[in-house]
Amino acid sequence: MAEQDWGTNKRAFAAVSLPTLFWVVAFFLVPMAIVWLYSFGENRGLTDIDISGTLDNYKRATEWLYVTIFAKSFAVAALVTLICLIVGFPVAMAITFASEKWRPWLLLGIMLPFWTNLLIRTYALMMLLGTQGFANKGLGLLWGGASWVKTLVGLEPLPTWEPVELLFNNFAVVFGLVYVHLPFMVLPLYAALDRLDRSLIEASLDLGAGHFRTIMRIVVPLAAPGIVAGVMITLIPALGAYLTPDLMGGTDSQMIANVIERQFKKANDWPFGAALSFLLIYAMFILIALQSLRRKVPEVR
Amino acid sequence: MALFARAARAPLEYSRTLWMRLWVGAVMVFLYAPLAVLMIFSFNDSKRNVVWRGFTTKYYEKALSNDQLVEALVNSLAIAALATLASLVIGTLAAIMLWRFRFPLKGIVDGTVSLPIIVPEICLGVAFLMFFAAVDWPTDLIWPFNLGAITIAHITFCFPFVTMVVRSRLASFNREQEEAAKDLGASEWQVFRDVLIPHIKPALVAGALLAFTLSLDDFVITYFTSGPDTITFPVKVYSMVRFSVTPEVNAASTLLIILTVVLTFIALKLQGVKAIADTH
């Protein structure tokens, strides 16, 4: 449908565009520009910041410590995305091929946690994983069971169960991020699978391919845009995650967002924090650019 | 769902295979078990949350008589309501602008409007901290005006979601309806009010729900923009979780979970599951 040229109806255009443009400029672009400018500044005294055009903040960000934190954040986010994809794909398949009666409820089941407060979900997980939590009790029961089985066959019983620390380490961070981001992955996967032409799957099965082969050779390539979308929607927030590593991580599971926060709340080094923020934003842009490159390939073929 | 299917399974009925059902069941347990435990233990009569010592509602009384917590909850709801209202207006106008008009630099404007969705929360939080410091935003206003800074920040990250939802709904609008209305003598404003708005109403409900929950949910951006007198619910819960884990937090969390569920079901009543699902 043809779009209207803005010049033909200036009053209507002004009415719809001015509030939006004002808001975006005043309360998004200007704040971002301030961060960008400060990233070229240096601290002069406690509250005084001089924007001197120095590149020292960026130079400092290339120090080994910060490079490893960036690399670690990427690794954690990539691992979380991979686990979400493996766990979420069968769920999305199940929702797609569920009966009309069940599909909405399964979808709702995935979406309800997505709408529940992130902090509450993280806290709930912390309760479960704590040394006194149910996860530890379950492991303790298994341990006791194993010990009992050993005495049955005449071996020495295992030493008594010591609760393990499931929280405050890298495992907890990955576990927590998967818990929080799983719905992000399932919903776009479902959207892509739902659009799939089912006769192609039937054809593949009729021609003798097994279910697994059909999924790998037919479903996955056809659902590729949805998979890429799901990966991006999971990877980007996981990369910038603050709350989960802060509450569930230990001293060595800091991610980039925690380092940025520290520059503002404790270290009081705003210019360096601003530089790190912009490096994170640039990383996002690179990821998105890679995705749009990927999207163009099928058109060329 | 009958676990053992009676009729033979058709090839594409993947969700009727046993292992698929087990997988989905396990994922649902994974998603809901922590929340269920949290809610159950809010009724536990024990200071340390781990062993069941009997049913009590005293932590609800405690949470509801904790002035700071109640104030934080009221602040959160007020911010969410204001941010939702403003996001609906700005988001809808932005969607109409991008859908209806052709104008110079449209690609850049389009990209910029959806940028707040992509920029990591931590960066947006930092940006607002610096922005409000740079413009010397007054911090000693009376309630509810002291919530202005947080509300502004929330509107910025909520309205692009409204734009997204409304825009996908506008794509199905039949412009002939608009032309018919104009031929019958409707003014630009009447077309907007009586033709366009009714068409996008489902998207407005979905967008409002999305904006409200996003605002209510937000911790990181609020953490950077809130002052000592403007605590929101997530910020308050965060400080409680940091210092000590008490059943009071469970009670307050349970109340908020129930609120979320109720809101969701209201939206479902108005829209049906399918329409809500389509917006994601």
Contacts 24+ apart (CB under 8 A), B189-198: B196/B96
**Residue from B3, B13, B15, B245 to probe the interface with A (highest A Cβ count within 10 Å):** B15
pLDDT of residue A20: 93
B14 and B89 share a domain?
no
B54: left (phi > 0), else alpha (psi -120 to 50), else beta? left
Please indicate, yes or no, if residue B100 is contained in any of the structural domains: yes
pLDDT bucket at A173, cuts 50 / 70 / 90: very high
Count A/B contacts: CB-CB distance under 8 Å.
256
B19 and B130 share a domain?
no
Please indicate, yes or no, if residue B268 is contained in any of the structural domains: yes
Please indicate, yes or no, if residue B47 is contained in any of the structural domains: no
pLDDT of residue B153: 95
B70 and B206 share a domain?
yes
Give strand pairing partners of A215: none
What ipTM goes with this model?
A: 0.85
pLDDT bucket at A69, cuts 50 / 70 / 90: very high
Q: Which domain holds residue B128?
A: 60-278
**Residue from B124, B130, B244 to probe the interface with A (highest A Cβ count within 10 Å):** B130
Please indicate, yes or no, if residue B52 is contained in any of the structural domains: no
B36 and B97 share a domain?
no
pLDDT of residue A46: 64
B169 and B222 share a domain?
yes
B130: left (phi > 0), else alpha (psi -120 to 50), else beta? alpha
Tell me which of A272 and B13 has the higher pLDDT: A272
B206 and B86 share a domain?
yes
pLDDT, chain A, mean? 86
Helix (H) or strand (E) holding B101: strand B101-102
pLDDT bucket at A32, cuts 50 / 70 / 90: very high
B202 and B260 share a domain?
yes
Q: State the residue for tokens 């991020």.
A: A177
pLDDT of residue A167: 80
Phi, psi at B131, each rounded to 5°? -65, -50
B29 and B73 share a domain?
no
Mean pLDDT of A284-289: 89
Closest CA to A227 of A192, A279, A194: A192
Q: What CATH number is given to the structural domain containing B153?
A: 1.10.3720.10
B15 and B73 share a domain?
no
> Is this structure's pTM higher than 0.95?
no
Please indicate, yes or no, if residue B53 is contained in any of the structural domains: no
B102 and B221 share a domain?
yes
How many domains does one find in chain B? 2
In Å, how far is B55's CA from the nearest CA of chain A?
Answer: 19
Digit-coded pLDDT (tens) for A139-169? 777 877 887 787 877 777 777 777 777 788 8
Task: Indicate if the pLDDT at residue A35 is higher than 90.
Answer: yes
B235 and B128 share a domain?
yes
Please give the Cα distance from A106 to A41 (Å, whole number): 51
Contacts 24+ apart (CB under 8 A), B243-246: B245/A123, B245/A126, B245/A127, B245/A130, B245/B49, B246/B47, B246/B49, B246/B59
Select the residue of B89, B96, B130 nearest A35 (Cβ to Cβ).
Answer: B130
pLDDT of residue B87: 96
Give me the average pLDDT of each 10-residue run along chain B (280 residues).
51 72 91 90 75 81 87 92 96 93 89 89 94 85 84 95 90 86 87 89 88 90 87 89 80 88 79 53
Please indicate, yes or no, if residue B46 is contained in any of the structural domains: no
Per the structure block, which two tokens stand in for A179?
């818990």
- CA A267 from chain centre, in angstroms, equals 27
Mean pLDDT of A49-75: 88
Burial (0-12, 13-18, 19+ Cβ within 10 Å), B249: buried
B29 and B109 share a domain?
no
Please indicate, yes or no, if residue B7 is contained in any of the structural domains: yes
Minimum Cα–Cα distance from A179: chain B residue: B31
Please indicate, yes or no, if residue B181 is contained in any of the structural domains: yes
Please give the Cα distance from A65 to A172 (Å, whole number): 22
